[in-house]
């Protein structure tokens, strides 16, 4: 399945280049072996590859062994689940994911929202009973590919790893959100962010690679910065909200996290971080990311404004941004999603660089033969 390998790297983190089609096929086969129907296994593989293609490695195949395989093997995720529509009001619907793998369940829910938006101008699908869905941006981008504006939000079910500002107990998860829209050719607008300064996956990736994290990512129980990423899983550090401190605007990240909790979990009836059980915590991270809630929204401007040339308006908007003169010595002005699109283009052409330790984990799972170098 591979070209002849090059000499073995001496650094366990040295990247191993893997062809995107090969990785996609290996992941599809892996998910199918674990009970997913073929089309959904392929969709889950696409969702997972998105992280590595766009440079969000903390949400790519790094999570296969540590997150998705345990979900499947423990029964917390049902590989054969069929989501049920509980309420259908035309433009909006409520769906119970029935513990389906979020990687494909969120994508299918966004496709449903897009179909509703084609009829009504807006389509909203609210999901409960879900599991981790990878990169929020993968699902939002499906609306952009259809010429629409996509919005995706997810809470973390009952997982609690971030304290409210000034609080002593973790009450919330990272609560990511994403917005996507057509922009310049081949470069959609794609905002994909946690409401904490960094997602937990980036902290764990840094710990695995032995790298310190910036002082604004983690804090101890007294609110002091922590740079040792391993302190997070030891329960000695918590994620900081965007804004970091009261003087720097921590209420903004915290407020966004609560907004996601309302829109993704309270609206759908999913599990919630801020709940009576949260008050029983011992001061460390607790709870599990079960019964996650999603909100998937597709907005079709051409349906809402018949005759409007919204693609031309979007191109004008984003061209004005990229035409903004940069500061001396700085790179050209871009927008969220530009660099991700460029990175994905190059990695589809040249291969995806997987850290050596991640490649070894995938080889141990039977995705491909152990690497002996930086070849594909």
Q: What is the mean pLDDT of the chain?
A: 92
The pLDDT, as a whole number, for residue 370 is 66
In DSSP terms, which residues pair with 149 in a beta bridge? 299
- pLDDT at position 372: 54
What is the pLDDT at residue 2? 35
pLDDT digits (tens, 9 = 90+) for 217-235: 999 888 889 999 999 889 8
Distance (Å, rounded) from C-alpha 155 to C-alpha 144? 22
**48-52, long-range: CB within 8 Å, 24+ apart, which pairs?**
48/103, 48/134, 49/20, 49/23, 49/24, 49/352, 50/134, 50/135, 50/137, 50/138, 50/141, 51/134, 51/135, 51/138, 52/23, 52/347, 52/352, 52/354
Exposure on the CB side of residue 71, measured as CA atoms within 13 A: 25
Which residues fall within 8 angstroms of residue 42, CB to CB, at 6 or more apart? 24, 28
- The dihedral formed by the CA atoms of 229, 233, 235 and 241, expressed in degrees to the nearest 10: 60
Using the predicted structure, report yes or no on whether residue 275 has a pLDDT greater than 90: yes
Once rounded to an integer, what is the mean pLDDT over residues 32-41? 98
Q: What pLDDT shows up at residue 4?
A: 32
pLDDT, residue 371, reads 56
Total number of residues shown for the chain: 376
Give the list of residues 6+ apart from residue 112 with CB closer than 8 angstroms, or none.
93, 95, 123, 125, 296
Bigger pLDDT: 199 vs 320: 320
Instruction: Collapse the DSSP code of 220 into the 3-class scheme (helix H, G, I; strand E, B; otherwise coil) and give the result.
Output: coil
- Cα separation, 46 vs 42, whole angstroms: 6
Q: What percent of the chain is modeled with pLDDT above 90?
A: 81
Q: What distance in Å separates the CA atoms of residue 242 and residue 223, rounded to the nearest whole number?
A: 14
SS3 309: coil
Between 96-110, 227-241, 338-352, the lowest mean confidence (pLDDT) is in 227-241
CA distance 256 to 247: 17
Give the pLDDT confidence score for residue 12 in this predicted structure: 60
- Which pLDDT score, from 0 to 100, does residue 235 have? 86
Among left, alpha and beta (phi > 0; psi -120 to 50; other), residue 152 is: beta
| Contact (Cβ atoms closer than 8 angstroms) between residue 88 and residue 56 | no
Q: Is the pLDDT of residue 100 over 60?
A: yes
CA distance 116 to 359: 40
- Given a contact cutoff of 8 angstroms between Cβ atoms, the answer to whether 216 and 233 are in contact is no
Average pLDDT (27-32) is: 98
Q: Is residue 3 predicted with pLDDT exceeding 60?
A: no
Q: What is the pLDDT of residue 92?
A: 98
- Kindly report, residue by residue over 133-182, the tens digit of the pLDDT: 999 999 999 999 999 999 999 999 999 999 999 999 999 999 999 999 99
Examine the pLDDT at 7 and tell me if it is beyond 80. no
Q: Is the pLDDT of residue 80 over 80?
A: yes
Give pLDDT tens digits for 222-268.
Answer: 888 999 999 988 988 889 999 988 888 999 999 999 999 999 999 99
Q: Say what the pLDDT of residue 274 is.
A: 96
């Amino acid at each position: 399945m591979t070209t002849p390998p090059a000499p073995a790297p001496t650094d366990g983190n040295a990247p191993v280049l893997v062809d995107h089609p090969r990785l996609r096929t290996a992941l599809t086969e892996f998910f199918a072996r674990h009970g997913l129907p073929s089309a959904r296994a392929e969709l889950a593989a696409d969702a997972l590859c998105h992280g590595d293609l766009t440079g969000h490695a903390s949400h790519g195949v790094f999570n296969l062994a540590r997150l998705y395989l345990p979900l499947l093997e423990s029964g917390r995720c049902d590989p054969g689940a069929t989501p049920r529509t509980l309420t259908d009001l035309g433009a909006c619907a409520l769906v119970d994911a029935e513990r389906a793998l979020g990687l494909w369940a969120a994508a299918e829910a966004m496709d449903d929202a897009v179909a509703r938006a084609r009829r009504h101008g807006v389509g909203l699908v609210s999901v409960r009973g879900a599991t981790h869905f990878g990169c929020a941006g993968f699902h939002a981008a499906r609306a952009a590919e259809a010429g629409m504006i996509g919005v995706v939000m997810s809470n973390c079910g009952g997982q609690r790893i971030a304290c409210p500002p000034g609080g002593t107990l973790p009450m919330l998860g990272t609560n990511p959100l994403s917005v996507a829209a057509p922009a310049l050719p081949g470069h959609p607008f794609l905002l994909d962010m946690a409401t904490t300064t960094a997602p937990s996956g980036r902290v764990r990736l840094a710990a695995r690679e032995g790298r310190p994290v910036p002082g604004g990512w983690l804090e101890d129980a007294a609110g002091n910065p922590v740079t040792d990423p391993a302190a997070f899983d030891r329960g000695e550090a918590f994620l900081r909200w965007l804004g970091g401190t009261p003087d720097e605007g921590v209420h903004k990240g915290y407020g966004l996290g609560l907004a996601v909790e309302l829109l993704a979990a309270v609206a759908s009836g999913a599990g919630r971080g801020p709940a009576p059980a949260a008050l029983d915590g011992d001061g460390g991270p607790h709870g599990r990311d079960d019964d996650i809630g999603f909100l998937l929204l597709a907005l079709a401007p051409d349906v809402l404004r018949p005759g409007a040339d919204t693609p031309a308006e979007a191109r004008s908007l984003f061209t004005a941004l990229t035409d903004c003169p940069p500061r001396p010595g700085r790179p050209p002005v871009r927008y969220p999603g530009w660099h991700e699109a460029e990175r994905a283009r190059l990695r589809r052409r040249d291969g995806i660089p997987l850290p050596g330790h991640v490649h070894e984990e995938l080889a141990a799972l039977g995705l491909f033969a152990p690497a002996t170098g930086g070849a594909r």
